[in-house]
Amino acid sequence: MAATAELKWKNTAFLVIDMQKDFISPGGVMHVKAFEDVVPNVIKAVEVARNRNVPIIWVVREHDPLGRDVELFRRHLYGSADKPKPVSKGTVGAELVDGLFIEEGDYKLVKTRFSSFFNTHLHSYLQGLGVNNLIITGNHKYVFKLRIVSDKRPSMRLHWIIIRLRLSLMPLLLPHLIYI
């Protein structure tokens, strides 16, 4: 029975996206109050993935403190010397939110755009693991989901764990989601 369960998860990886203090913690530069509610369930989902030996990939934004690698429409957030810069490398805001930790064997992928595939080596990393199923969770900005759907490789199947959804249109846009 245990061997069957392990086979079920063999070609699966778990992506945890943008669970950083600047987005989730009160006082974070890009704080969205609704994201605070998902943290306990993301913690539980990570625990389940670890118990099933599913590789965990922590996808985080980390930007140059001068904003040289951010989208043009965000550059204004990096212009002032007096204001904190969102998810800048080495800052508290770029750290994972309290309760989430990268453990040995987990993988940290740094991105600078909405997509986890754009200008990263996520696809080749997943190929190296033999992954063709992705389980995705995070702070649930609808943009990251839509970007992954458009950027993913055709051989990959996506499975979403939607822990708390604020957008009523999402089931119409992405009907294959798994809701918990």
Most confident of 5-19, 73-87, 93-107, 126-140: 93-107
Residues 6+ apart with CB under 8 A from 78: 63, 65, 66, 67, 70, 85, 86, 88
Span of 56-60, 64-68, 172-176 with lowest mean pLDDT: 172-176
- Residue-level pLDDT at 41: 85
This prediction has a pTM of 0.78
66-81 pLDDT per residue, tens: 888 888 888 888 888 8
Please say whether the dihedral angle defined by the alpha carbons of residues 151, 8, 40 and 179, taken in this order, is positive or negative. Answer: positive
145: number of Cβ within 10 Å: 22
Q: Please state, for a pLDDT cut of 90, what percent of the chain lies above it.
A: 24
Coil, strand or helix at 76:
helix
Mean pLDDT, rounded, for 123-149: 72
User: 76 burial class (0-12, 13-18, 19+ CB within 10 angstroms)?
Assistant: exposed
Q: Is the pLDDT of residue 179 over 60?
A: no
Nearest to 3 by CA among 39, 66, 70, 52: 52
- Residue-level pLDDT at 141: 55
CB hemisphere CA count around 16 (13 angstroms) = 27
